[in-house]
Amino acid sequence: MISARAALMLITERLAAAGLEEPRREARILLAAAEGVSAAGLLALNEVDEANFAPLLQRREAREPMAYILGRREFWGLDFAVSPATLIPRPDSETLIEAVLAAGVKPRTVLDLGTGTGCLLLAALHEFPQAFGVGVDLSPDAAALARANAAALGMAERAVFLAGNWDAALAQKFDLVLSNPPYIEAADVPQLMPEVARYEPLSALAGGADGLDAYRAIIAALPRLLPPDGLAVLELGAGQAISVARLAVEQKFSCSTRRDLDGIERAALLTRCK
């Protein structure tokens, strides 16, 4: 046993040595998780058992993402379980939900392609209580996790999750299509920060040689998936708006964008040309 204060100092020093930018903040999160208390609850601890936090510390020193260590991540104010089978939900992706709300649509059916944790679909269903949704992911493990998240959030009766390749198993149309597809150029993935390059699923990151393979597949399917007044909202990587707009025009869709908090064109909104 060591004092909680000494443990925080030790964890902070080791995380700093590992190159983390906010070692003190992360030390508090990690120690709280190890002791099963809130961050505020650390103040009430006098001593802690090093055996509780040592395995978690080793994982974070190896640059495993904190979300995988904790097994949780918040998105759109909702709590999601995460696993190495899924991309970790990011605040930037909330721009897609903002874009849908700003568009003024009221979908009754929603499709999420490449659903991962189910965060986009379930956030949309949270905002549209009358809607029903389908999430598709290539990974059966991701689809199972998304299904569990829907149950935990009380939406099991309003969402179905399938393992499949984009739209291959789908026959119906949807009022709203969402997707955060893999959009990083394959050659760039190894250069990403270690938390991403080493741990997050490659299939959710790499979008082919030019980063556009998933957009080609999804946009080519939109004429079949969307009714005449339907809307598709796709997440964009930095600098991809023009390329995605060109793909949209080829399928007779118009494309507008919404910027994230950093000013990056993050969401592409696609509707049929009138």
Distance of CA 120 to the CA centre of its chain: 7
pLDDT at 274: 76
pLDDT grade for 41, boundaries at 50, 70 and 90: confident
pLDDT over 90 at 137, yes or no? yes
Q: Is residue 219 part of a domain?
A: yes
Q: Which amino acid is at 45?
A: L
pLDDT at 187: 96
The domain of 38 spans 2-62
Tallying the residues shown for the chain, one arrives at 274
- Do 17 and 109 lie in a common domain? no
Q: What is the mean pLDDT of the chain?
A: 96
- Do 96 and 226 lie in a common domain? yes
Rounded Cα gap, residues 100 and 23, in angstroms: 36
pLDDT over 90 at 38, yes or no? no
pLDDT at 25: 95
pLDDT at 43: 83
Q: Is residue 71 part of a domain?
A: no
Distance of CA 202 to the CA centre of its chain: 14
Q: Is residue 142 part of a domain?
A: yes
Cβ neighbours, 10 Å, residue 28: 17
Q: What is the pLDDT of residues 176-230, one digit of tens each?
A: 999 999 999 999 999 999 999 999 999 999 999 999 999 999 999 999 999 999 9
Query: Which of 34, 62, 90 is the last residue in one of the domains?
Result: 62
DSSP annotation string for the chain: -EEHHHHHHHHHHHHHHTT-S-HHHHHHHHHHHHHTS-TGGGGG-SEE-HHHHHHHHHHHHTT--HHHHHTEEEETTEEEE--TTSPPP-GGGHHHHHHHHHHT---SEEEEET-TTSHHHHHHHHH-TT-EEEEEES-HHHHHHHHHHHHHTT-GGGEEEEESSTTTT--S--SEEEE----B-GGGGGGS-HHHHTTS-GGGTB--TTS-HHHHHHHHHHHHHS-TT-EEEEE--TT-HHHHHHHHHHTTEEEEEEE-TTS-EEEEEEEE--
Q: What is the CA radius of gyration of the chain?
A: 20
pLDDT at 219: 98
Place of tokens 């918040």: 74
pLDDT at 169: 84
Q: What is the pLDDT of residues 44-95, one digit of tens each?
A: 888 999 999 999 999 999 999 999 999 999 999 999 999 999 999 999 999 9
- Do 35 and 152 lie in a common domain? no
- Do 89 and 52 lie in a common domain? no
Q: Is residue 251 part of a domain?
A: yes
pLDDT at 39: 81
Cβ neighbours, 10 Å, residue 242: 10
pLDDT at 156: 98
Domain with 91 in it: what CATH number?
3.40.50.150
pLDDT grade for 40, boundaries at 50, 70 and 90: confident
- Do 39 and 100 lie in a common domain? no
Exposure of 114 in the CB half-sphere (CA atoms within 13 A)? 23
